[in-house]
Structure 1
Amino acid sequence: MARVRNWYNQSKPATLIWFISLITFYAVFRMASKVSPLSRELQVSNAERNRMYDKMSRDLDEHGALFLKQGETSQSLLLSDLFDIKNGSVTPVLKAANPPVRANVLYMSPEFSLPISKVVRDIFSPTLDKVIWFQNPELYHFSMFHASHHISPVSASEEEIEAEANAVKGVAEKLCRMRIVLDRVVLTSTGVLLGLWQVMSGSDPVTIRSELRNALPHAPVKQLYAPAILHTSLARIIGHPYNSSQEGGSALELQYIHELVVGLNKAIHGTEATISELWYVEEYDVLALALDGKMKLRRFKFGCWKG
């Protein structure tokens, strides 16, 4: 009996350690099962996005502030084609798109867009409110794929348009809710203030564009954006800040604009959002989504919510 008692007393610490280790392993296993690592596909795409975003971050310094010289926009249009300054504020110049542009975009709900928009306005309005167009936060979106765009228009009958919309709905039903994070904000040489995002979980933009390409075989071969990019326009600057006493494109003026962008990055970098809608949009005006023009929306919810 004494031997048994002695063995029990000696083995108690080892048993306790073994039991605690088992509980710890189980807890870690449960946590790991809830937080799935990035898929290989997302890892590759995020790396490609990062390289792309680095290049876009250098665009303003490498090409200068073309928007201060009424240069081209990112879609081969002059700023004067898109905006006018009337009564001390920027007014969009709406021009009919013939045939209408048919765009497929991911939608950001106001739950996420309104706080971002407020910060953008707070930082840029004091010195730029008469020369800046702020994107409507009710229409924050990520352009994915065009069935027709103004550079390569593809006409379609009403029946063909309905067939396209149904095909896009089919794509949406395959997509998983996306959790995304704001990687950075950049100002391009053409004056567009862009939010550039990475994907934490859910469907990858590369996959979404590939699915849309398969669903819309008559779409232009040349699309407007790189397959991996996930970006949304926040604003467009078309003139000089109030406090500018320098000629357009001067080092001091660019430095000041850079400081505004740096301040915005500090304020909203790391912002997270959830995306769960794909829109099929007929834009009856050129860049209707960006300029609050005339359009027809069809909204499709993602079919998978595991993201």
Structure 2
Amino acid sequence: MATKAPSCSTRFRSPASAVWFLPAAVFILLLLLLGRPTMDPYAPATPPGPVSSRRADLYGRMTRDLDERGAAFLKGGETSQSLTLSDLFEVRDGAVVPRLKAVDPPVRANVLYLDPVFAAEIAKAVKEVFLPYFDKAIWFQNSSMYHFSMFHASHHLEPILATKDEIEAEVDAVKGVTEAVCPLKISLDRVVLTSTGVLLGLWQVESGTDPADIRSKLREALPRAPQKQLYDPVLLHTSFARILGPPKLPQQEDTSSFSHIKFFHDLIAQVNGKIRGFQAKVSELWYVEEYDVLALALNGKMRVRRLHLGCNEGQDN
């Protein structure tokens, strides 16, 4: 059955109050429309080597992204598709909510799922730090839908058509993978803010089946899937929020000498001080048909098959 994720909207005092951050929002919202944050800013792909060193190299580059590219999400500008804020969001009853758009064919994504028992503490820390400065210019990811993107059977860059029977065959193949994959014990390595305004949690694997191995198994199980996937094989990340505009500054702040980059680094340091090293366990993989553009990120219409990680190959839990 198709389901709709619980609502998670950002409040506004009035519809007019959304207008001031529209130019900056257009840039980041185009990225949202095109898909979840791709690895293009971090190309070329992480070089071969031990997974731990490859992941450390990747996370280092992602951490430096804001310094090297700047806060591009504050610069605004027109999009190649002439998108406006109203294309993706609308103000309803004083709240900004997504303007959901159907996607055909549906995106078919395989994601690891973070239980809300763990996600709630992270979401609380993120909101405590960022909400006072971005109460009208931030979209918080629904904490009941925190996930780690693994592998796409079909995505927006390379749609792969499938009949109902072919989709069911994909689900069965993925179920075969999950029966052999062990639950993951993970720890939050760091929180970073990208140049496109996405607040990401980057994770390390302490035990269980590594994401690189999970993706490899899914590739074997889904031979029709797009050759070009959206993420580096060693990446394990969760999107916590997306900043849509400039911060609300204290009245005493001297704006002439204000450094947005330093300000963002200070906020990131605060978040890391609260939740860096946070541990969680991941025991489910979801096969998701997204009927709306970015349904997982924007609380859209989707069909979810929840698959338990069975660990039947004798790997460590």
The whole-number CA distance in structure 1 between the counterparts of 2:82 and 2:230 is 13
**Residue 277 of structure 2 is aligned to residue 282 of structure 1:** no
Paired residue secondary structure (1:123): helix
Tell me whether 83-92 or 218-227 shows the greater mean CA deviation.
83-92
**Residue 221 of structure 2 is aligned to residue 215 of structure 1:** yes
The 8 Å contact of residues 82 and 94 in structure 1, kept in 2 or not, is answered as no
Paired residue secondary structure (1:219): coil
The whole-number CA distance in structure 2 between the counterparts of 1:150 and 1:138 is 24
Residue 174 (structure 1) shift = 0.4
Q: Which of these residues, 69, 82, 101, is aligned with residue 75 of structure 2?
A: 69
Residue 254 (structure 1) shift = 2.2
Corresponding position of 2:137: 131
The whole-number CA distance in structure 1 between the counterparts of 2:270 and 2:247 is 16
Structure with greater Cα Rg:
1
- Point out where structure 2 has 5 or more consecutive residues left out of the alignment: 1-48
Corresponding position of 2:6: none
**Residue 211 of structure 2 is aligned to residue 195 of structure 1:** no
TM-score (norm 2): 0.77
The whole-number CA distance in structure 2 between the counterparts of 1:79 and 1:274 is 39
Corresponding position of 1:171: 177
Corresponding position of 1:147: 153
Aligned residue identity for 2:261 = L
The whole-number CA distance in structure 1 between the counterparts of 2:275 and 2:211 is 22
Corresponding position of 2:91: 86
Matched-pair identity in %: 57
- Point out where structure 1 has 5 or more consecutive residues left out of the alignment: 1-42
Tell me whether 274-283 or 62-71 shows the greater mean CA deviation.
62-71
The 8 Å contact of residues 107 and 278 in structure 1, kept in 2 or not, is answered as yes
Aligned residue identity for 1:86 = V
The whole-number CA distance in structure 2 between the counterparts of 1:267 and 1:190 is 23
The 8 Å contact of residues 90 and 99 in structure 2, kept in 1 or not, is answered as no
TM-score (norm 1): 0.79
Length, aligned pairs only: 261
The whole-number CA distance in structure 2 between the counterparts of 1:239 and 1:283 is 27
Residue 44 (structure 1) shift = 2.2
Q: Give the structure with the larger helix fraction.
A: 1
Aligned-residue Cα RMSD (Å) equals: 2.6
Aligned residue identity for 2:91 = K
Residue 129 (structure 1) shift = 1.6
Q: Which of these residues, 119, 126, 130, is aligned with residue 120 of structure 1?
A: 126
The 8 Å contact of residues 67 and 79 in structure 1, kept in 2 or not, is answered as no
